[in-house]
Amino acid sequence: MKNACDTLITNAKGVVIPEIGIIQTNILIENGKIKSLQRSIDNIQASKIISANDKYVLPGVIDPHVHYGVYRPIEEAAQTESASACIGGVTTMMRILRMTGSYTDIEKQLSASRGNHYVDYSIHASILHRSQIQDIPYLVEKIGINSFKVYMNLGGELNHIYVDLEPGSDEPRYSEVNVNDELLSSIIKSAKINNSLTMVHAEDPLMCAEYMRAIKNKQENLPILETWSRCRPALSEIRSITKAASFARQFNSELYFVHIGSARALETILQQRTRGGRKNSLYIETCPHYLTHSTDFDSILGKVVPPIRSKSDLYHLWSALRDGQIDTIGTDHVASRLSMKVGKGDIWSALAGFPGLATMIPVLLSNGVNKHRISLERVAEVTSYNTSKIFGLYPRKGTIQPGSDADLIIVDLALKKRVSPQLLKSYSDYTIYDGWELKGWPVLTMVRGIVVMENGEVEKRSLGHGEFISRPTNCHK
Ligand SMILES: [Zn+2]
């Protein structure tokens, strides 16, 4: 008897399956799900056969840290940024939503998002104001959002943050936010009570403001990014990490530290992990730019918070990535145009953040796997498996196993491409990798059984295929 399926992926050099390893198998897909993995294709009848052409297949990438809908309304931003996700092999993008008012109005954002994504998406809600804490149960129970971001970096004179646009509007706007200890602990506590995860931006705004003032006054002639790094010292991260971790112990809750880029911040979290509670209750995310750029970059384009650090921090992060100390990689993608990014042309007025969705996997393959710093299995863990487990998407996503969504990528480790903004298909017209030759690219991206990118071309007909992924209410019990 023949074993029928919609789509068969065959001829892979290896299929990278977290917890199992790299195996020789064929992948049978039916109705957007993995139907089975079979060694032999003798008895299989498939409507569509995709040859992996002796290349590796990995689980689709889950990017846990994406900003879009900030400078353009989500209905427009979703189209370009999810196209860029396809290029980078990202099959689920997790938006960090920042609303100023009540999150009971989130339906407007959700309906504007619908039909405008190529890839699946999920949402983390930022809690900027005390009044929003009461919206947490609603978001968890009714919407399927169970991760909440707190910005410890906002307060004092550094209290401005861009919030997401109302659908249909295109006037970027600020909110004034002041995260004091009382608000921080209330968010951590409330997230815990609602079986949710708190995501922490750990920097101390008072310390950063003080350092920034001193450095401006000194007027030393330092390289641009060295100046920026000194304005926001690792010490400020350490102070905030220590404080947040102590609240986490108090409420026996988990924390997810976003964008860790300095060796000292990383070491502080590792130390805090050993103190009380479950060992892995403090998660660590780093970003591709901390693995590729140091203050030597010396360009205003590299302005980001927390700042890009020294070469030695960069090497330290690669070993932590290899050794399993870092849990996930998020891009902290910001879809801005060059004209907005550079501001008046100085480090003070430039906008923080830059695009990164499409280049995460190429960076990890080129500078990681192809340079023997990390294995392909490790890439699958930090870009998909760990992320899916931490955010309650597993086993629907994060692996290639029967019953999971057929989200996967085929990567060509030998393919070289020179990076340009055009290649990446984001709204952003610049990239910090402009001109870099990266070796190792996704050549096919599949979301729930549908090919959304092949050979660097986005499949335009699949616009709207991406769905909002609501997460289960009990995953952080
Ligand atoms: Zn961010």
Distance 330 CA to ligand 1 centre (A): 9
Distance 306 CA to ligand 1 centre (A): 9
Contacts of 425 (CB under 8 A, 6+ apart): 80, 83, 84, 86, 87, 358, 458
Three-state DSSP at 194 gives coil
Distance 378 CA to ligand 1 centre (A): 23
Q: Give residue 280's pLDDT.
A: 54
294-330 residue pLDDT tens: 999 999 999 999 999 999 999 999 999 999 999 999 9
Q: Give residue for tokens 């923080």.
A: 352
Q: Give residue 219's pLDDT.
A: 84
Judge whether 333 and 379 are in contact, CB under 8 Å.
no
Distance 151 CA to ligand 1 centre (A): 10
Strands 328-329, 147-151: pairing kind: unpaired
**Res. 150: pLDDT tops 60:** yes
Distance 25 CA to ligand 1 centre (A): 38
Distance 402 CA to ligand 1 centre (A): 33
47-103 residue pLDDT tens: 999 999 999 999 999 999 999 999 999 999 999 999 999 999 999 999 999 999 999
177-224 residue pLDDT tens: 999 999 999 999 999 999 999 999 999 999 999 999 999 999 888 999
DSSP secondary structure letters along 393-441:
-TTTSSS--TTSB--EEEEEEEEEEE--HHHHTSS-S--TTTT-EEEEE
Distance 14 CA to ligand 1 centre (A): 34
Distance 297 CA to ligand 1 centre (A): 21
Give the gyration radius of the chain's Cα atoms.
21
Distance 472 CA to ligand 1 centre (A): 24
d(CA 345, CA 347): 7
Distances (CA, A) of 34 to 168, 177, 202, 468: 38, 44, 39, 20
d(CA 187, CA 136): 9
Distance 4 CA to ligand 1 centre (A): 44
d(CA 37, CA 20): 13
How many Cα atoms within 13 Å fall on the side-chain side of residue 319? 9
Is omega for the bond preceding 395 within 30 degrees of 0, making it cis? yes
* pTM score: 0.97
Distance 331 CA to ligand 1 centre (A): 8
Neighbours of ion ligand 1 (CB under 5 A): 332
